[in-house]
Amino acid sequence: MPETILLEAEERMEHTLQVLHRDFSTVRSGRANPKMLEKVHINYYGAETPINQVANISVPEGNQIYIKPYDKTLVSEIEKAIFGANLGVTPSNDGIGVRIVLPPMTEENRRNSVKIIHKMAEDSKVAIRNIRRDAITHFKKMEKDSAITEDDLQYYQDETQKLTDQFIEKIDEYFKEKEKDIMHI
């Protein structure tokens, strides 16, 4: 039973790391990245649908994204959705698809992007610590119910802390990597 709690905590921490990685990919760095459109949805026959499910998204050049919908009637919907998403870009409709030309990032834009990813990283660290707290609470309850000994409690608390430290370190590595990518000109 305590091993199950430890495994569950590890799975939750891994999920938190995956979410952080996915969120980092939506933050603009110096190059065009189709993932920055992941959170943009359009109204497709009454259902909110992600753009990548109704269109082909490509990067023809390092500073451009081209969105070609499978149904040409969606071009104006996609254009409106991108405007509404406040991505800081201006889409242009060519009748067949939507082209987004990303302006070069200024120093201020880069610093703001770093602030955004720093907040994301800190939020992920808080989530990891909450998972640790939940696991340790379970262990303490088991010790109180005499399901594990006091020595076992200490062992599982130490293992949970080691796991927490590993994931916090991974978050820091992801942050430094993304920060370097954003600040690179």
- The model's pLDDT over 96-139, given as tens digits with 9 standing for 90+, comes to 999 988 888 888 888 888 999 999 999 999 999 999 999 999 99
Q: What is the biggest distance separating any 2 CA atoms in the chain, rounded to whole angstroms?
A: 70
User: Which domain range does residue 20 map to?
Assistant: 2-26+106-183
> Does residue 31 have a pLDDT over 80?
no
Among the candidates 67, 84, 101, a domain finishes at 101
When divided into structural domains, the chain yields a total of 2
Instruction: Say which CATH number the domain at 164 has.
Output: 1.10.132.20
% of the chain at pLDDT higher than 90: 47
Choosing from 101, 119, 151, the residue where a domain stops is: 101
Q: What local confidence, expressed as pLDDT, does residue 39 receive? A: 82
Containing 179, the helix (H) or strand (E) segment is: helix 150-183
Query: Residue ranges of the alpha helices (H) in 85-149?
Result: 107-144
13: exposed, middle or buried (C-beta count within 10 Å: 0-12, 13-18, 19+)? buried
- Do 97 and 150 reside in the same domain of the chain? no
Residues 159 and 177 placed together within one structural domain of the fold: yes
Question: Any bridge partners for residue 146, and if so which?
Answer: none
Q: Which among 46, 69, 101 is the end of a domain? A: 101
What pLDDT shows up at residue 95? 86
Q: Is the pLDDT of residue 6 over 90?
A: yes
Residues 11 and 42 in one domain: no
CATH of the domain at 68: 3.30.1360.40
